[in-house]
Amino acid sequence: MADRSQRVQLLPHPYTPGEWVWSISAEVSLEAPATLVCRYSLHGEVKRLLVPVARAGRRADGLWRHTCFEIFAAADPAAGYYEFNFSPSLEWAAYRFSEYREGMAPASLSRAPGLQARKTVDRLELTAHLHLEGLAELRSPQVLRLGLTAVVEDDGGSLSYWALRHAAGNPDFHDPDSFALELETS
């Protein structure tokens, strides 16, 4: 795989703007051997956000209910897609969907994602190294379609939803139109 890199800005969903978050950017790259690297950088009043404390990195469900960063990935022309959740707690989740919100099952990864998180007064950063070698559909397509997203919880318990592109209506990161970043793999 050739090294590829793109930097993007995530947009808040209009129904959930997130009062304490000024911006969220992401840089994604595909690095050899078969590793997707995503660096998220949230700028805002971090003390007003609920940021999970670091724990031992392990698989965990329900991370999207609190502050976390996510990657939705689909390979053209394969059916289905993957959802990956990365928490500042260093916990992670990986799911495979056979089609839009259908057939959800835990994705079998050959290695746990490598996560690093750092928090300052005005910045929350998370870097995820996602190893694709165990995911046949994502390992060698011509193009990966990605949805880069974030869920941010404030100190009042409100959630804001950030993505490259939002579908009409309520936040829905699973909408195929939100997989707005195309990353060439060769």
In this structure, CATH architecture of domain 4-184: Sandwich (2.60)
Res 2 pLDDT > 70: no
108-140 confidence digits (pLDDT tens): 999 999 999 999 999 999 999 999 988 988 877
Q: Is 77 buried (19+), middle (13-18) or exposed (0-12) by CB count in 10 A? A: exposed
| Predicted TM-score (pTM) of this structure | 0.94
**pLDDT tens, position by position, 149-186:** 999 999 999 999 999 999 889 999 999 989 999 988 76
Report pLDDT for 108. Answer: 92
* CA count, 13 A, side-chain hemisphere, 183: 33
